[in-house]
Amino acid sequence: MKYHCLTPVSSKGTQESNTNGWKKFKGTTDVDDESNITWSAHHASQKQTSECETSITSLLLLLRDQAHSVATIKHAMKKVREAVAFLNPGQTPILAADQPLYAMAKEIQWYWPEEYGEDKFVIMFSGLHIEMTALKSIGSMLADSGWTSALVEADVASSRTADSFLLATNVTKTHQAHQVTACSLFQLLKKVYSSYLAEHSDGDEEASSFVEWCDSRKKESPQFAFWFSILNMELTILTLV
């Protein structure tokens, strides 16, 4: 197996300069498998196939006008509708936008219901705003629950930072705090259930399954029911976002 490798020629050889000012060498040399050639040269010599998978995503052209204007939002909605109708006729277009653009898109739906009505477009928040709203919702549930104090005692965050998690001031740090909380709650849950199984291992009474045990514990202990609901909500947020 041989590769065709470019090699520089002497200063007396013929050289040409391309538009970028780089030197293009004319000399070539055949090399065998034991020769040291570059990684890019090896892959450049391989045969390229024209077959490729069709992408399921697309990027529309960027607009030069300001985004927060009625004309721009209407134009974007029109183009999205045309693209969706071409690719999948009959499907209702779905648009995700940040909070200011979301409000403007909803106003367009209310002012022009025949063309951009709620039965013709689905307008939703973008992923960032959905996550912020979800984190604020669970933060309101965790207020005065001792969650922030537990984070401070565990050296996860300072007192001021832990209080900011309730309002999701910093989305990234709040997301990480709920990851730590979900892991801790699940470990405690499995630890208690393992103790329950150990107690019933030698007895005549058959131990309940994990789901049945959780249901019975939620009925017996309001504190267990509260933190179990917090764990489920955190897992839902971390799964969807």
Q: Are 143 and 164 in contact (CB under 8 A)?
A: no
Q: Is residue 16 included in any domain, yes or no?
A: yes
Q: Which domain holds residue 119?
A: 70-125
Contacts with 75 (C-beta within 8 Å, 6 or more apart), sequence order = 63
Total domains in the chain come to: 3
215: which 2 tokens? 């249901």
Q: Indicate the average pLDDT of the chain.
A: 81
Contacts of 165 (CB under 8 A, 6+ apart): 139, 148, 151, 157, 173, 174, 177, 178
pLDDT tens profile 116-173: 999 999 999 888 888 998 999 999 999 999 999 999 999 999 999 999 999 999 999 9
Tokens of 204: 């005549």
For the record, the structure tokens of 74 come out as 């209407």
In a domain? residue 64: no
Residue 149 domain-assigned (yes or no) = yes
Contact status, residue 65 vs residue 72, Cβ threshold 8 Å: yes
Q: Is residue 50 part of a domain?
A: no
| pTM of the model as a whole | 0.62
Highest-scoring range by mean pLDDT, 13-17, 37-41, 237-241? 237-241
